[in-house]
Amino acid sequence: MSAVKDPRRARPRDTSSLSTPHALEIFRHAVAIRDDWLSAGLSVRPADRTTAEAAVTELYQLIAEPKPSFEWLPSPAAAFAAGPGRGLGPVRLQAASAWPSGRDWPVAARLASLLSRLRRRLDARIGRRTSGEWPGRGVVTARRAAPEDALMLGASLADVLEVAVHDSLRTTLRDAMTAPLRAALARMAADSPGLAWYGQHDAYWVAHYDAWRRLGLVTYHPDDDDQLDLWVAVARSAGWWWPGEGRCVMTGRPSAVRSEPLPGRWHGELRLHRPDGPAISYPDGFGLYALHGTPVPAWVLTGPSAELISREPNVEVRRSAIERLGWEAYIERAGLTLVARRADPGNPGSDLCLYDLPGPAWGTSARVLVVVNGTPEPDGQRRRYGLSVPAGIDNPIAAAGWSYGLTADQYARLARRT
């Protein structure tokens, strides 16, 4: 009788020797899986509480914890407002030596360790580089070219899947949504409710492992398969959640998400954008305003003014607010005085305009250089930016060079600025 092969020792399917047409056929299936997960990550449907609670209960059981009591809140902001008062604490991942033994760790830390071990095993199964390793040549190629071209240039299907599934969803769900939401919450509340998972916004990493097995490229160990299914279930059924000692706080999904394609990308990446309201909002009123991927305060949309702009320290928020107001209107209302105008040698056909700012504004600078972006937007327009420069610079070309760490002569010799 032949021995049963252990899936932990079985090799994943070799994708490096696939013909380009075959690899493209598999890639098209991968795109459908990615888009399915993107829909889950952007879902605004009410949470499936039964499914989410069942999956979290099983995760607790994997660390030898009984079923917790569940408390559902309408948004992550509500969890921050409740904070430690809901039986949660400011748990942070620490070295293993920080606690006497693993069983003494807080629930959140033990779940994090459980997940970390799972992901290491899954990465080993699919032959994926660890997060600390430099990306291989194939991954770099896949990031710079269309999938068909990347495969023709020597990138493997595994490289293209890394970029088209994992990286694409990470850009949309983690970088464009989770990160600004976390930053907004940190500004709202001094105390964090502790270590969180992001439910539907965890789809970027869950989807990557799920795609490999759905494409038939790998077989995981049954125990790892089952555990991955639990993370799949939570990501498809709920929003952010915080596990605690005997209590788990869970939140619903947003009530609205507005986005637009991220320019210059090959794999369906999105960024938050809505010009007439919050780009992402929750049923309790918590939300985030964003213009073309830039998180902005509400006043940028509802009432931009020269006074508010002059007090804003963030250059991207200033730019967004000025674009809402209009550069001509801002220059007039802010009382900017033109110092000098020169043709931009780094951006033919555009001018560099150096202005005096009346009084203290834009930090400590007394002058602003208005430049035209060298790279056009998808609609063909070129954005204008205002850059703070030292008050002693009188030449716009010198001011532009200063912003790049160059002299005026060095900047004047640039073929083209981007």
CA distances, 191 to each of 241, 244, 248 (Å): 16, 16, 17
Cα 345 from Cα 410, distance rounded (Å):
10
Strands 69-73 vs 247-251: parallel, antiparallel or unpaired = parallel
The structure's pTM equals 0.82
Structural domain includes residue 188: yes
Report the SS3 class of residue 104.
helix
- What are the structure tokens assigned to 30, written together? 């991968």
Q: Give the model's pLDDT for residue 104.
A: 75
Whether 220 is in a domain gets the answer yes
In a domain, 33, yes or no: yes
Which residues, 6+ apart, have CB-to-CB distance to 166 below 8 Å?
204, 205, 207, 208
**374 has a pLDDT exceeding 80:** no
Are residues 346 and 246 part of one domain? no
Question: Is the Cβ–Cβ distance between 353 and 341 less than 8 Å?
Answer: yes
Residues 51 and 112 in one domain: yes
Residues 263 and 388 in one domain: no
Mean pLDDT of 24-29: 90
Q: Could you tell me if residue 292 is inside a domain? A: no
Sign of CA dihedral 147, 148, 154, 156: positive
- State residue 350's pLDDT score: 87
Six-digit token pair at 385? 């930016």
Ranges of H-type helices in 189-312: 203-214, 222-235, 298-302, 306-311
Specify the pLDDT at position 381.
66
At residue 289, what are phi and psi to the nearest 5 degrees?
-90, 140
Structure tokens that stand for 105 in this block: 């760790």
297 is a domain residue: no
- Same domain? For 263 and 317 the reply is no
Residues 244 and 310 in one domain: no
pLDDT of residue 90: 53
- DSSP H or E stretch at residue 250: strand 247-251
pLDDT at 5 over 60: no
- pLDDT for residue 103: 66
Inside any domain, residue 13: no
Domain with 241, as residue range(s), is 20-272
Number of domains forming the structure of the chain:
2
Are 166 and 207 within one domain?
yes
Residue 9 domain flag: no
Residue scoring higher pLDDT (283 or 337): 283
| Same domain assignment for residues 262 and 339 | no
Whether residue 61 is found in the same domain as residue 175 = yes
Q: Are residues 164 and 260 in the same domain?
A: yes
* pLDDT at 8 (0 to 100): 47
Q: Checking DSSP bridges between strand 256-257 and strand 280-281, what pairing results, if any? A: antiparallel
Least confident range of 41-50, 315-324, 369-378: 369-378
What are the residues facing 248 on neighbouring strands? 70, 243
Residue 58: is it exposed, middle or buried by C-beta count within 10 angstroms (0-12/13-18/19+)? Answer: middle
Give 95 or 229, the one with higher predicted confidence. 229
pLDDT at 133 (0 to 100): 55
Strands 351-356 and 367-372: antiparallel
Residue-wise pLDDT for 381-399, tens only, equals 677 878 888 888 999 999 9
- 137's tokens: 């040549």
CB atoms within 10 A of CB 309: 24
- Residue in the block written with tokens 């199964």: 125
Q: Tell me the one-letter amino acid at 357.
A: L
Evaluate if residue 32 carries a pLDDT over 60. Answer: yes
Instruction: Tell whether 132 is covered by a domain.
Output: yes
In angstroms, the CA 411 to CA 401 distance is 5
Q: Is 269 left (phi over 0), alpha (psi -120 to 50) or beta?
A: beta
- 111 band by pLDDT with thresholds 50, 70 and 90: very high
At 247, list the tokens: 């209590």
The answer to whether the beta carbons of residues 67 and 60 sit under 8 Å apart is yes
* Shared domain check, 152 and 251: yes
Looking at the structure, tell me whether residues 204 and 307 fall in a common domain: no
What tens digit of pLDDT does each residue of 200-223 get?
999 999 999 999 999 999 999 999
Distance CA 398, CA 418 (A): 17
The type of residue at 251 is T
Q: How far is CA 122 from the centre of its chain?
A: 23
Q: Which amino acid is at 45?
A: R
pLDDT (tens digit per residue) in 142-177: 888 888 888 888 888 888 899 999 999 999 999 999
Same-domain check for residues 263 and 357 = no
70, 163, 263, 273, 328 from 168: Cα distances, Å: 32, 6, 13, 17, 37
Name the band, by pLDDT with cuts 50, 70 and 90, for residue 99. very low
Per-residue confidence band for 265, with pLDDT thresholds at 50, 70 and 90: confident
